[in-house]
């Protein structure tokens, strides 16, 4: 294991640079050569390889995004695309590849692992926190804090104008982000893809709250809720009530910003752990932190076995709403 390479793939999130910093420094400490692949799997297919050294890690632990850049690539999901990637790995004599990505990217890494002799270790990153093999993925904690900060500010306006606000956060298929932000932000209701949304019941609850003297209401909506996004749900509520409704879509600001201390530590642990796993001979695994300990799981676990929603947190949201 003389030459290692690392890439970031898919959507960006806070903590990627912290993870890259850890990967680079641990590899150099072990006197291994480390290469960076720019623009994810697209760059791997195109041979966009750069050498990395200690200077590459200077002043990046606090920066959002990824200095290696990222991209999505449909071509990589075809055998012809992966053939190009395998050729790049061989041409640059890369013994170990670290893929920092979400479930889609790690699924791509798993497909690649079946077609190359290069050992691959996946590192989970996702603001949705929907990757198997780890309790938390890089970027989730920062995204939650970003959403909570926005909710706190929106509540000031909602209270001043006695309005109902629907705040939409990311989460096309999973509600981890919405649930955590909703509980921490004191939302009156959290609507997520994992549970059915009963509009009549929701409207009745809103009316009961108004009778009790509530001056403002915040509802957090995951973008993938089965009743629709925030705008669609607002229309459904409007048909049954006379509320003044405002909608706020947080959008891509959840992906950006300086990572929290938690994300910096997690990213550093997973980055170092990924390099050490390769040095010990591991291949085709995903590294995660479960119950406070680093563990290695089969790479396909990352996308086949998504973590379950914390039902205690779901219950807490219902109690406190």
Residue numbers annotated as active site: 128
Alpha-carbon dihedral of residues 309, 146, 236, 317, nearest 10 degrees? 40
3-state helix, strand, coil in the chain (%, to 5): 45, 20, 35
Kind of pairing between the strands at 49-51 and 33-37 = antiparallel
Q: Provide the 10 A C-beta neighbour count for residue 31.
A: 7
Is 33:94 a contact under the CB 8 Å cutoff?
Answer: no
CA distance 128 to 130: 5
- Of residues 300, 283, 286, 287, the one with CA closest to residue 96: 283
Euclidean distance between CA atoms 36 and 226, whole angstroms: 40
CA–CA separation, 45 and 76 (whole Å): 8
The span from the CA of 263 to the CA of 14, in Å, is 7
Q: Answer positive or negative: Cα dihedral of 83, 286, 260, 130.
A: positive
Residues in contact with 231: Cβ distance below 8 Å, sequence separation at least 6, in sequence order:
247
How far is residue 321's CA from residue 271's CA, in Å, rounded to a whole number? Answer: 38
């Amino acid at each position: 294991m003389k030459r290692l390479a690392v890439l970031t793939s898919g959507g960006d999130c806070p903590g990627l640079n912290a993870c890259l910093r850890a990967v680079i420094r641990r590899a150099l400490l072990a006197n291994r050569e480390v290469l960076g692949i720019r623009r994810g799997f697209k760059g791997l297919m195109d041979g966009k390889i750069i050498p990395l050294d200690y200077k590459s890690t200077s002043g990046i632990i606090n920066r959002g995004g990824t200095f290696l850049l990222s991209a999505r690539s449909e071509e990589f999901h075809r055998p012809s695309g992966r053939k190009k990637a395998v050729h790049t790995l061989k041409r640059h004599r890369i013994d170990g590849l670290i893929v920092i990505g979400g479930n889609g990217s790690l699924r791509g890494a798993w497909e690649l692992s079946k077609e190359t002799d290069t050992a691959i270790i996946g590192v989970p990153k996702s603001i949705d926190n929907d990757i198997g093999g780890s309790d938390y993925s890089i970027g989730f904690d920062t995204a939650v804090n970003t959403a909570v900060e926005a909710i706190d500010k929106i509540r000031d306006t909602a209270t001043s104008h006695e309005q109902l606000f629907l705040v939409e956060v990311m989460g096309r298929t999973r509600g981890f982000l919405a649930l955590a932000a909703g509980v921490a932000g004191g939302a009156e209701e959290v609507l997520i893809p994992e549970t059915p949304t009963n509009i009549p019941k929701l409207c009745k609850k809103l009316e009961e709250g108004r009778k009790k003297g509530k001056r403002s209401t915040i509802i957090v909506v995951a973008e993938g809720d089965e009743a629709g996004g925030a705008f669609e749900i607002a229309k459904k509520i409007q048909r049954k009530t006379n509320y003044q409704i405002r909608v706020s879509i947080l959008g891509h600001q959840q992906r950006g910003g300086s990572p929290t201390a938690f994300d910096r530590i997690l990213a550093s642990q997973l980055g170092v752990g990924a390099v050490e796993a390769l040095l010990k001979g591991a291949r085709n695994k995903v590294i995660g932190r479960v119950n406070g300990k680093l563990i290695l799981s089969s790479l396909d676990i990352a996308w086949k076995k998504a973590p379950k929603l914390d039902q205690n947190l779901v219950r807490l949201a219902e109690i406190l709403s």
